[in-house]
Amino acid sequence: MSRNALVTGAARGIGRAIALRLARDGLNVAVNDIKASSSGLNKVQQEIEKMGRKSVAITADVSVDKAVETMMQSAAKELGSLDVGTSSSRFFHLFFWLIIQVIVANAGIVQVKPIVDITTEDWDKMFAVNMRGVFLCYKEAAKVMIAQGTGGKIIGACSTLGHRPAPMLSHYCASKWGVRGLTQAAAMEWAKHKITVNAYCPGMFTTVFFRNTNLMIKTGFTKTAMGDMVDEELAKIEGKQKGDIIKYYENDKIALGRISKPEDIASLVSYLASQDSDYMTGQSVLIDGGTTFS
């Protein structure tokens, strides 16, 4: 029987690469993003279907509890053959994970600001998506996995900044330390149910990741929709030119000498979603080209 997955924040960048990689691995993949990214999301769905896999595009805000619950129901209906009822349906809770075995909570946002300039609105928005969104995806996935009794794979988006913080990104760092802690606690709670919970930690500069950050905060764009603004904003603060920060990281900070591609991250998620990682749980795995060593 085909295995099925749900990937949030999948319209572009890292999320898109993860969804396409899982499809190449033979999984059917439901993809999610916010309404503003629906055009890109539909294209990802079509790319997956061209591979001969089932897919469905679901727009939803992962920071809203009912939206996450409905998203999972929609994925079950579209990828499987079950006639799924309401969210309170016992049939849904007992059999959903015959349909979806893997969830990747990838959606997230970022913003460059000094601590003294961060507003409560900035802080709350950051945690609503990066922390609450991951929490809700973990929670809803675990509820049905536990009821089903067949285990599963829960995978979250952390960051190297969830291991080692950086200035001008304090609220982002704090949210990712939260994801790391949640991942460890969830792994401890759910191991007895044969559910593994792990996270992936991309480097600070990932292609089409740290981009258009301040605009993204205002518009609600996910991290995969960004342009070059983290580099640009950090350069302004440090009195450098656009591109200088990325060059510095490539030349002096990243051992392998290049920023990562979305496909680099997708390869790690492929492993975390596979049976090869069955004996691994509670880990937030660094994948940053040798910038952070543990």
Catalytic residues: 172, 176
* Integer Cα distance of 7 and 214 in angstroms: 24
* Helix/strand/coil (H/E/C) assignment for every residue in 187-212: HHHHHHHCEEEEEEEECCCECCCCCC
Are 80 and 4 in contact by the 8 Å Cβ rule? The answer is yes
The C-alpha torsion from 123 through 216 and 212 to 236, rounded to 10°, is -30
Amino acid identity of residue 232, one-letter, is: E
For 42-68, the DSSP string reads HHHHHHHHHTT--EEEEE--TTSHHHH
DSSP 250: I
The C-alpha torsion from 100 through 105 and 107 to 113, rounded to 10°, is 170
* 216-240 exposure pattern, b = at least 16 Cβ within 10 A, e = fewer: bbeebbbbbbbebbbbbbbbeeeee
Cα 72 off chain centre by: 15
- Taking alpha carbons only, the member of 99, 135, 128 closest to residue 111 is 128
